[in-house]
């Protein structure tokens, strides 16, 4: 299969997207990979697979690669007299953060009828915003940790007891996130968070909470990964998470009861279907008193959470063959025709 | 000022977008207008202003116009040896429904750094979905009519008393909407609504409710339209609304107290700022017992609600000069550099 890996982007997570893309190259061994890089200026480059090393990008050498344009049905290398398509059956969106997870790339690919693996625009916009993720969970009857939200113009005060965790509503990878143990620390944490967003949420911070990750997709059947209990520090900072994006070997399943595993999987399925059809996502859950809480939806998870799947590549292949299709809207101009008739102009 | 009107799109409201665009031509008299049409296949055409008549589109004759491509900074006419930009200071998104109001066009224009008047991706995705609009109102402490939601897989039953109004969550212009007066009529109304969406909301139907429309934008100041009390039928069907999109002369203000007017305007401002910066939207409110309820956000209102403004064209000009700018993200490769150093490869 011809898979085009799309990575980079105008995003705070641009660099970890490069790490994810390099990891994908190690994982997708049977496929014929094409790599399309979006640089900080949002120019598209077709990167030679043999040159996929981080230095190519950090040195700026990637600029010697061929530029490509996104047009109807895919990417094209424009020549003087003709435009040559990049051979591709599916685009795998590996852009983390802005562009990749906020709905922009999904919009571009859907608009241009390019088959792609990623959440669609609405799913992206909802999961990119931690507050809307809370609302989504509510409609699905899924528990989340108690929270409040503050806009940059609100009074700097929260109702709930400390400690709390302060998060900008729209960023991933722990950027701008702080744990606040007392009211005295709140102001500083808000300063940091409001550097990245006009809105933040404050969530009850639960010490030593059990955390479990579940990734998956729906193809013609559920394709659920193992449940992982991620390594636990107070919370993952950017650099720790960064290294996490280069994982390429399978990890062990969490040591949990079948009953809890099924609860986690049921929650995952509720989140995924139908909103996230066409994507591989990873949901991070908390378990408190045997109840499952949705903590986060990673709509473009680090290295696509490949390390949680038994046979990631085959799953990607099945998903490519089961992508949701946009509804076909027939435009027959019947209203314009009828108005023209009424006006005697037809 | 050079304004590019973008209209058409792959949308059930494709034809009313054409009507809106023709109306804009009558309203924006001082500006230098360019018209870019997106046809049902999502090809872009540069339409000669003199030819802007509905028949050009319904007859298919538009296909003789020059094709344009969306690239960085704007639209371009590609020639054999060069690519000529369409002169434009700002794009006015006039696409109603899918593409224009679901976040796709906003994503495309923002990605390619094209200045544009329209809600951005997140605002579009939220206001395109009636259920998320309800959540947005909740976060803003704005009342909405009592509702329930049903997915296509749910049992066909609602808790609230009849009559109710059934709406697909994602479509505008009354498509798929029915009033249901008893349980016996529910099944048929749901059949219709589920033809257009996998999720519907049922809202309490309030007979003879007072309805008021408020349009506006924020430039360097609030630019609020008059408050209109729209003509009232049971509810507007598609054809009635369709004619409504060609309005180009100013209407009279609703006969309401200053106190109520201020309440409506305050609600509008809460909805608009900061989510809808860069756009002209129209909010439709209900007033029940002197309380203001948000009924709907029209993120790309018919003919841009020009008929509600005293000097629409000047407002559009001021808005063009006060568009929100995307945050500039600097990518300095410091993480990749530090990893390369750690590995001894730097």
Domain ranges of chain B: 2-118, 126-142+207-320, 147-204
CB contact under 8 A, A43 and B72: yes
Q: What's the whole-number mean pLDDT along residues A235-259?
A: 74
- Tokens 């109840």 locate to A291
Q: Which one of 3.30.565.10, 3.40.50.10490, 3.20.20.140, 3.30.470.20 gives the CATH number of domain B126-142+207-320?
A: 3.30.470.20
Residue closest to A235 by CA, chosen among A224, A247, A244 = A244
- Give me the CATH topology for the region A2-118: Rossmann fold (3.40.50)
Contact, A286 vs A211, CB < 8 A?
Answer: yes
pLDDT at A152 over 80: yes
Nearest CB among A15, A135, A149 relative to B336 is that of A15
Higher pLDDT, A171 or B12: B12
Looking at beta carbons, which residues of chain B come within 8 Å of A330?
40
CA distance A229 to A240: 16
CB B149 within 8 A of CB B188: no
Element (H, E) at A70: strand A66-71
Distance from CA of B162 to the nearest CA of A (A): 23
> Whole-angstrom Cα distance, residue B144 to residue B134?
7
**Is residue A107 predicted with pLDDT exceeding 90?**
yes
Domain A147-204 architecture = 2-Layer Sandwich (3.30)
The whole-model pTM stands at 0.94
For residues B329-343, give the mean pLDDT: 86
Q: What is the CATH code for A126-141+207-320?
A: 3.30.470.20
Residue B346: pLDDT band with limits 50, 70, 90 = very low
Q: How many CB pairs under 8 A join A and B?
A: 138
Q: What is the mean pLDDT of residues A283-306?
A: 96
Is 0.85 exceeded by the ipTM? Answer: yes
Task: With a cut of 60, say whether residue A231 has pLDDT above it.
Answer: yes
Give the per-residue pLDDT at B153.
Answer: 84
Q: Which residues of A touch B16 (CB under 8 A)?
A: 335
Q: CA nearest B106 in A: which residue?
A: A104
Say if residue B333's pLDDT is above 80: yes
Task: Please tell me the predicted confidence (pLDDT) of residue B132.
Answer: 93
How far is A111 from B154, CA to CA, in rounded Å?
30
On the question of pLDDT at B24 being above 70, the answer is: yes
C-alpha B129/C-alpha A125 separation (Å) is 12
Calpha distance A23→A96 (Å, rounded): 14
In this prediction, residue A118 carries a pLDDT of 98
pLDDT of residue B139: 85
Averaged pLDDT, A180-184 = 95
Residue in A57, A198, A333 nearest the CB of B274: A198
Q: Give pLDDT, residue B291.
A: 96
pLDDT higher than 50, residue A346: no
CA distances from A32 to A67, A75, A89, A91, A309 (A): 20, 16, 10, 12, 20
Task: Give pLDDT tens digits for A216-225.
Answer: 999 999 999 9
Residue A225 near residue A250 (C-beta atoms within 8 A): no
Q: How close are the terminal C-alpha atoms of chain B, in Å? A: 51
**A107 with B103: Cβ contact below 8 A:** yes
Cα A310 to Cα A319: distance, rounded to the nearest angstrom: 15
Share the mean pLDDT of chain A. Answer: 92
**Residue of B55, B129, B139 with shortest CB distance to A149:** B139
User: What is the rounded average pLDDT of the residues B178-191?
Assistant: 95
> What is the per-residue pLDDT for A207?
86
* pLDDT on residue B111: 98
B65-79: pLDDT as tens digits = 999 999 999 999 988
User: Can you tell me the mean pLDDT for A33-59?
Assistant: 96
Least confident of A241-250, B153-162, B195-204, B322-331: A241-250
Q: Which residue has the tokens 């395109």?
A: B128
CA distance A191 to chain B (A): 17
Closest CA to B263 of B230, B297, B290: B290
Q: From chain A, pick out residues whose CB is under 8 angstroms from the CB of B58.
A: 333, 336-337, 340
Of the pLDDT bands very low, low, confident and very high (cuts 50, 70, 90), residue A241 is low
Highest mean pLDDT among A4-8, B140-144, B333-337: A4-8
Q: How far is B151 from chain A (nearest CA, A)?
A: 10
**Would the pLDDT of B238 be above 60?**
no
Strand partners, B7: B37
Band (pLDDT 50/70/90 cuts) for residue A329 is very high
Residues in CB range of B95: below 8 A, 6 or more apart: B6, B7, B8, B9, B11, B13, B17, B38, B101, B105, B300
Mutate to test the interface with A, among B331, B332, B343 (most CBs of A within 10 A): B331
Q: DSSP class of residue A143? A: B
Which residue is closest to B333 within chain A, CA to CA?
A58
**Is B112 within 8 Å of A42 when comparing Cβ atoms?**
yes
User: Closest to A58 (Cβ–Cβ): which among B110, B132, B337?
Assistant: B337
Angle, CA of B183, B189 and B195, to the nearest 5°: 145
pLDDT for the residue B147: 96
What does the angle CA B198 – CA B204 – CA B207 come to, to the nearest 5 degrees?
A: 130
Asked if B9 contacts B38 with a C-beta cutoff of 8 angstroms, the reply is yes
Taking the CB of residue B79, how many other CB atoms lie within 10 A of it?
9
Q: Give the pLDDT score at A94.
A: 98
Instruction: Give me the mean pLDDT over the A304-317 stretch.
Output: 96
Picking from A127-136, A154-163, B133-142, B228-237, which range would have the lowest pLDDT averaged per residue? B228-237
The whole-angstrom separation of Cα A209 and Cα A166 is: 17
Task: Judge whether residue B338 has pLDDT over 90.
Answer: no
* Residue B299 neighbours by CB under 8 Å, 6+ apart: B101, B118, B119, B123, B124, B127, B128, B276, B279, B281
CA distance B245 to B239: 10
């Amino acid at each position: 299969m011809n898979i085009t890996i799309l990575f980079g982007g105008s995003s705070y997570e641009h660099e970890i997207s490069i790490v994810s893309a390099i990891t994908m190259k190690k994982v997708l061994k049977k496929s014929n990979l094409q790599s399309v890089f979006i640089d900080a200026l949002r120019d598209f480059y077709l990167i030679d697979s043999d040159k996929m090393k981080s230095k190519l990008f950090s040195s700026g050498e990637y600029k010697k690669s061929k530029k490509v344009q996104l047009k109807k049905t895919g990417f094209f290398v424009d020549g003087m007299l003709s435009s040559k398509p990049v051979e591709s059956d599916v685009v795998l969106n590996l852009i983390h953060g802005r562009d990749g997870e906020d709905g922009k790339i999904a919009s571009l690919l859907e608009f241009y009828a390019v088959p792609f693996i990623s959440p669609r625009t609405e799913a992206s916009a909802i999961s990119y915003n931690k507050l809307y993720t809370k609302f989504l969970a509510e409609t699905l009857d899924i528990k989340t940790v108690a929270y409040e939200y503050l806009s940059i113009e609100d009074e700097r005060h929260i109702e709930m007891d400390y400690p709390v965790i302060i998060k900008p509503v729209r960023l991933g990878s722990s950027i701008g996130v702080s744990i606040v143990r007392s009211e005295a620390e709140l102001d500083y944490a808000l300063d940091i968070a409001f550097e990245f967003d006009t809105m933040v949420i404050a969530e009850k911070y639960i010490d030593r909470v059990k955390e479990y990750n579940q990734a998956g997709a729906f193809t013609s059947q559920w394709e659920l990964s193992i449940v992982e209990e991620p390594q636990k520090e107070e919370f993952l900072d950017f650099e720790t998470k960064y290294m996490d994006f280069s994982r390429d070997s399978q990890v062990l399943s969490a040591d949990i009861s079948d009953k809890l595993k099924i609860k986690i999987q049921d929650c995952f399925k509720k989140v995924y279907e139908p909103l996230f059809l066409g994507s591989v996502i990873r949901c991070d859950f908390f378990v408190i008193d045997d109840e499952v809480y949705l903590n986060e939806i990673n709509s473009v998870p680090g290295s696509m959470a490949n390390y949680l799947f038994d046979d990631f590549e085959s799953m990607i292949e099945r998903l490519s063959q089961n992508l949701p299709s946009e509804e076909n809207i027939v435009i027959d101009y019947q209203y314009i025709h009828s108005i023209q008739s009424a006006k005697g102009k037809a």
